[in-house]
Amino acid sequence: MTKTFRLFGRGRRSVFAVTVLAAAVALVGCSGRAGKSVAPSVPTTYGRVDLARLLHADREPGQWFAGGRDNSGGYYSPLSQINDRNVSGLGFAWAYQTHTSRGLEMTPVVVDGVMYASGNWGAVYALNAVTGAPIWTFDPQKQGGGGGSGQAARYACCDVVNRGVAVRDGKVFVASLDGRLFALDARTGKPVWRVDTIVDHSLPYTVSGAPQLTRDLVVIGNAGADIGVGGVRGYVSAYDLATGRMRWRFYTVPKPGEAQQTPEMSAAAKTWDPKRDPRFQGGGTVWDGMAYDADLNLVYLGVGNSSPYNGHDRSPSGGDNLYLSSIVAVNAKTGRLAWHYQTTPGDNWDYGATQKMILADLPIGGRVRKVIMQAPKNGYFYVLDRETGKPISIQPYTYLNWSKGLDRNFRPIFSGDADYSKGPKLIYPFWGGGHDWQPMSYDPRTKLVYIPVLESPMIMIDLKRNRAAVDHIDGLFGTSILVPDKDYRPDDWRPLFGKLPKGPAVNKGTGKETVRAVLKAWDPIARKTIWSRQSSADYTLFDGGVMSTAGNLVFQGQADGKLQVYAADTGRLLKTIETGSGIMAAPCAYMVDGVQYVAVMAGYGGAMVGSPFPPNSAAAKYQNTGRILVFKLDGAAETPKPPLRRLQPFQKPPLQAASPEQIAEGAKLYASNCGRCHHFGVAVAPDLRRFGDGTDDPATFRRVVLDGLMAKGGMGAFRDTLTSGDVDAIRAYVVDEARKAYRDQGERAKAAS
């Protein structure tokens, strides 16, 4: 049973010269004319960003001040030196090695010629944005407190990723995977202050999201709603920018079995079963998307999915379960609720609303409306009034069947296809959503939103009510979720889950392949797709985020290692750069000394940490080497590739005397505890059939799984959920699978000769 467990400058300058140059740069930076220099090639300032500079980012088009460039979060650059007429000349400028092999998901911030980027565990790299020369690096694992602990990695639903830094007042703000928030000196990388943001380390909290800045606060959320027996209870915390003192904390779901302390929690409690099981924390983590309107002084929180997914277990008497899967606006001064809009009431499908949000002014109904836009997982595109939260328009941006439409109150009407309590159901979109965390981009010129869309169904299974052989899967609680790709065969899964639906040969909504990634240009005013382009990758889901520019360009990296450039107005493919690295992050654009650059972080992983690389793709051909790649006009024609991936042949597996019953039990335990990360094949996490580092020895295997012998590499201890007998059964199953792989390898070699 070797199937995929897819469950989810140069020289010195005088002080006088530097001062004159800095003054000249400041003057040019305020010109507001795209194509002008905004920073010297030798940095003279570090992190010199205040709120006024951020809010007037268009006066300095060459800067990339925040994850989405400016306070709108639109991932749009006003630069046009690189444009649809000359982008064919775009070439390689430089690369920086992060010395990692996991997913990289952040978009670099570039201020005054310095690039600030974050990577695995919450590491930070400050680089010369022209040459890539390192200025400083920061490693949270060397700061004490367990920033690189294997337990934090185990609790990370979707790899040891980090989605970005924030820069303000000479400081760089970043969160480590284990939940510490750091304020670093932007010149040296030394911590100015740090604070532990986690309220209970006995629960599987982690932090992978980027901090959100307000006028005087840094706001950070967390993750963990998918892990453990009952997940975690979501919240965000706000800290003073200068000192790190906590100013307020906003919880997203009421605490079970306790009197609620605030009006918003009292209101939420009425939407939950008052007798719900206190083991289930509720979820609702804010693990990624946030936004801030300085005029309204509102922080917008994208709230995630439930813990557990199945509402019959989470809240047996039903209810909307506020504020799960909602957009929530919080007063930045007081930390109190301003308004909320729930995108998926009573969420049972992992349809969180944590996707990044964009602030824009749109001409709608004969007047300009101040809106907030989001394309969350559930497949609907939302345009809301950002002062009141009232819906302006809601329209599907991809095929969906969990909802039949909306009622007069803009509430989704559930369909029969959505209810998997009475048997497994084929549901659109899948758990990754029509759109996951990868940033979309809004171009104010074309007035189009460019969305990295995932078009795929899922098969959801209620394990208890389906009487499945597996009753719990780490990261999925009492459900199982299968993605019926082109290799899906229902009978392969019958021993674990019983009778399952057939997978459709084509996507019912598109007539295309069942599983595909597609870039869509969406008109939020006309509420329709203007153009779309399917990924060039052979079988992929998670391509990269998107950036658009005033050069009539849209940039997107792909899982197969291609950096694609399209015409923003028509979608015509203008340029392809082969990088050799799977790309998940969104690019950025910046200018130094009159030269425009495009940068993107390359390194595959994230939610696909346990899934196979696309066959014949760059990610399978080359080592998954983390890099920052930078391009410019008239750069080198070839982008350097990572080293080739050289897989050693399967070795003769160790002998064992396990019974068929023990091997079958090991298969169930593997599916419950290991398959989330460890796919049998070429993936980010190791293929356990390829025994190494002494794990062919039963005692060493137990120490790795139970005691965390390889914690530094991200393999946490499982003593809290597994026994020695369980581990022996898992090992028996892995050895049996290794024996089959070794046999098949020999048969292929014999046939080839």
Q: Cβ distance 117 to 124 under 8 Å?
A: yes
Spatial neighbors of 430 by CB under 8 A, at least 6 apart, are 454, 456, 457, 458, 481, 483
Look-up: residue for tokens 């980010």? 684
pLDDT category at 34 given cuts 50, 70, 90 is very low
- From the candidates 350, 436, 474, 543, give the one annotated as an active-site residue: 350
Kindly state whether residue 66 falls inside one of the protein's structural domains: no
pLDDT at residue 537 in the model: 64
**What is the pTM assigned to this prediction?**
0.92
DSSP string of 293-359? ETTTTEEEEE---EESS-HHHH-TT----TTTTEEEEEETTT--EEEEEESSTT--S-----S--EE
Q: How many CA atoms lie within 13 A of 196 on its CB side?
A: 11
Report pLDDT digits (tens) over 256-273. Answer: 877 778 999 999 999 999
pLDDT at residue 29 in the model: 33
* Number of residues that make up the chain: 753
Kindly state whether residue 706 falls inside one of the protein's structural domains: yes
3-class DSSP assignment, residue 189: coil
Domain limits at 677?
Answer: 661-752
Q: Are strands 114-118 and 337-342 parallel, antiparallel or unpaired?
A: unpaired
Closest CA to 614 of 637, 644, 583: 583
Kindly state whether residue 222 falls inside one of the protein's structural domains: no
Does residue 639 surpass a pLDDT of 50?
A: yes
CA distance 739 to 159: 29
Look-up: residue for tokens 């695995």? 120
DSSP string of 245-282? -EEEEEESSPPTTS--SSHHHHHHHTTS-TT--TT--E
pLDDT at residue 515 in the model: 83
Report pLDDT digits (tens) over 225-250. Answer: 998 888 999 999 999 999 999 999 99
Q: Mean pLDDT throughout 176-193?
A: 98
The CATH code of the domain that includes 677 is 1.10.760.10
- For residue 94, the cross-strand partners are 630
Does residue 214 surpass a pLDDT of 80?
A: yes
| 146/452: higher pLDDT | 452
| 9/495: higher pLDDT | 495
pLDDT at residue 486 in the model: 78
CA distance 666 to 680: 15
Q: Is 697 annotated as catalytic?
A: no
Kindly state whether residue 740 falls inside one of the protein's structural domains: yes
pLDDT at residue 694 in the model: 73
| 42/251: higher pLDDT | 251
Does an H or E element contain 166, and which?
strand 166-168
Report pLDDT digits (tens) over 439-482. Answer: 999 999 999 999 999 999 999 999 988 888 888 887 788 898 99
Q: How many domains does the chain have?
A: 1
| 94/147: higher pLDDT | 94
Kindly state whether residue 593 falls inside one of the protein's structural domains: no
* CB atoms near residue 467 (< 10 Å): 10
Cα radius of gyration rounded to whole Å, the chain: 25
* CB atoms near residue 654 (< 10 Å): 15
Amino acid at 573: L
Kindly state whether residue 314 falls inside one of the protein's structural domains: no
pLDDT at residue 22 in the model: 33
pLDDT at residue 690 in the model: 86
CA 590 to chain centre: 23
724-752 vs 698-707: helix axis angle to the nearest 10? Answer: 120
pLDDT category at 38 given cuts 50, 70, 90 is low
pLDDT category at 696 given cuts 50, 70, 90 is confident
Kindly state whether residue 383 falls inside one of the protein's structural domains: no
* CB atoms near residue 39 (< 10 Å): 27
Q: Cβ distance 337 to 251 under 8 Å?
A: no
Question: Strand (E) positions, 365-463?
Answer: 367-374, 380-385, 391-396, 403-406, 412-414, 425-427, 441-443, 448-455, 458-462
Share of the chain above pLDDT 90, in %: 71
Residue 569 has φ and ψ, to the nearest 5°, of: -85, -35
Kindly state whether residue 551 falls inside one of the protein's structural domains: no
Q: What is the separation, in whole angstroms, between the first and last Cα of the chain?
A: 27
- Least confident range of 47-51, 137-141, 340-344, 676-680: 676-680
| Token code pair at residue 372 | 């907030």
